[in-house]
Structure 1
């Protein structure tokens, strides 16, 4: 099973940059998109609905032009679930999950946070706490899960450029790194990409200007977070940098799952 995750920073922008043509060529089984920034009812062009894929959206109820997530999948899911039961997620369209026979795959989007606006950072922390509680509950279930999305947190110094300076910035604050490492350590979830790639400078995000892209000054803010039973099923993983569809790059993972 090939699973692609991408923060599109606006699904229309990504489409204009050729994302869907690229996606079809990749022939993935499941694609998880974050930050679609669109009301599904306004996506009338066929480019957003490629043949061979079942498509599911979860828009923000507060402002459809912000946040939002989507799942594209070849196999029709047994069920689709939206939201995680708390307002920072459910009112803003930040989680959708597709249940298949052997695995459930979800797309999640953590808020950005801010160095300067306390309310935005507090909003991010509330989402993080709610998401962690959801992951705790998930561990009690008797099936495997893969959560694909933007955590907006770099896990360790090798996951961000200028790591020493960035310790004062949202996205690499000590509290944020503590949160994501609790997910992988205490809750025993798997950082799927790091199971197959231990190198530094494996970034999935760069500031939206050419200098950062050319100098490779960014951060690994996007993850595929898997339950422990998935660990031995991970066959490969990569970050695609051949084209820019947004300020994030597609994270491509291969699993030995039918």
Structure 2
């Protein structure tokens, strides 16, 4: 089972830069998009055999998320009730038999950290939401999370300490998540891999020199990490200032884990 996540920095612009070529090449079960920057009716993707779910921001040309999938969900939820960011279209949750898929575009705390307090409030809300879902069934959480967790996750770590996306506060929230039942799939498989980034500034030749940050993630509930097959970064794919990331999960193992949990619940009730 294949999952893709990509901050496209404007789906209309990305469509002109090869988005559909990559989409068809990947043939993913789930294709999650962040920063769509469009409104209802502005983009039509005639993709036969796929279900499409879009969460548009109220502000034109801003934020927004989408999920394109081969699999019809049991339920769909937009947002989690967060008052400050709900109108920005930042969250989509799809429920399936064996897991929840949560696609997120996390707010940036801004260059001068003017939005840091709101960002930290967001982190607390999404943490509570993920924990709530995890109590029901495993979670696959993905998107542009706008934080480089450790120094290994960006090129010039020491020069960026305290900057947006690398503050101690933002990193601490990620540490909390990963110590409370969730796994960073890429670091689980590749704990020491360096120069692995998902975002680069548009400044001259920054991407060519690979001066980047790893701020896009697939994070899963700890109890399904044994079902991880691979977690990769497709840094050669252009079309945005971010590149796509990919997660492959063993569907049979997901189903087996789900069945074991159901049996435990049944035995507990008895």
TM-score of Structure 1 vs Structure 2, range by shorter chain:
over 0.9
SS, match of residue 97 in structure 1:
strand
SS, match of residue 23 in structure 1:
helix
| 8 Å Cα contact 2:236-2:243 kept in structure 1 | no
In the alignment, the residues of structure 2 paired with residue 10 and residue 168 of structure 1 have an alpha-carbon distance, to the nearest angstrom, of 28
Query: Could you tell me how far 1:210 is from its partner in structure 2?
Result: 4.3
Instruction: Name the structure 2 match of 1:18.
Output: 18
Instruction: Name the structure 2 match of 1:113.
Output: 109
Which of 170, 195, 216 is the equivalent residue of 1:201?
195
- How is 1:119-134 mapped onto 2 (pairs within 5 angstroms)? 120-134=115-129
Query: Could you tell me how far 1:221 is from its partner in structure 2?
Result: 0.3
In the alignment, the residues of structure 2 paired with residue 175 and residue 257 of structure 1 have an alpha-carbon distance, to the nearest angstrom, of 35
Which of 151, 157, 160 is the equivalent residue of 2:151?
157
Matched, 1:69 2:65: yes
Which of 109, 123, 133 is the equivalent residue of 1:138?
133
| 8 Å Cα contact 2:198-2:244 kept in structure 1 | yes
Instruction: Name the structure 1 match of 2:230.
Output: 236
Which of 224, 229, 245 is the equivalent residue of 2:239?
245
In the alignment, the residues of structure 1 paired with residue 161 and residue 98 of structure 2 have an alpha-carbon distance, to the nearest angstrom, of 39
Query: Could you tell me how far 1:162 is from its partner in structure 2?
Result: 0.8
Matched, 1:55 2:52: yes
Instruction: Name the structure 2 match of 1:183.
Output: 177
| 8 Å Cα contact 1:160-1:220 kept in structure 2 | yes
Instruction: Name the structure 1 match of 2:263.
Output: none
| 8 Å Cα contact 1:84-1:134 kept in structure 2 | yes
Query: Could you tell me how far 1:196 is from its partner in structure 2?
Result: 1.7
- What is the count of residue pairs matched by the alignment? 251
In the alignment, the residues of structure 2 paired with residue 31 and residue 24 of structure 1 have an alpha-carbon distance, to the nearest angstrom, of 11
User: Which ranges in structure 1 are unaligned for 5 or more consecutive residues?
Assistant: none
In the alignment, the residues of structure 1 paired with residue 156 and residue 235 of structure 2 have an alpha-carbon distance, to the nearest angstrom, of 20
Q: TM-score, normalised by structure 2?
A: 0.89
SS, match of residue 88 in structure 1:
coil
Instruction: Name the structure 1 match of 2:9.
Output: 9
Distance 1:233 1:210, change over 3 A: farther
In the alignment, the residues of structure 1 paired with residue 42 and residue 83 of structure 2 have an alpha-carbon distance, to the nearest angstrom, of 24
User: Which ranges in structure 2 are unaligned for 5 or more consecutive residues?
Assistant: 253-270
SS, match of residue 105 in structure 1:
strand
Matched, 1:38 2:38: yes
SS, match of residue 206 in structure 2:
helix
| 8 Å Cα contact 2:197-2:235 kept in structure 1 | no
Distance 1:210 1:52, change over 3 A: farther
In the alignment, the residues of structure 2 paired with residue 194 and residue 140 of structure 1 have an alpha-carbon distance, to the nearest angstrom, of 24
Instruction: Name the structure 1 match of 2:259.
Output: none
In the alignment, the residues of structure 2 paired with residue 50 and residue 197 of structure 1 have an alpha-carbon distance, to the nearest angstrom, of 34
In the alignment, the residues of structure 2 paired with residue 226 and residue 27 of structure 1 have an alpha-carbon distance, to the nearest angstrom, of 21
Bigger Rg over Cα: 2
In the alignment, the residues of structure 1 paired with residue 163 and residue 38 of structure 2 have an alpha-carbon distance, to the nearest angstrom, of 28
Matched, 1:222 2:219: no
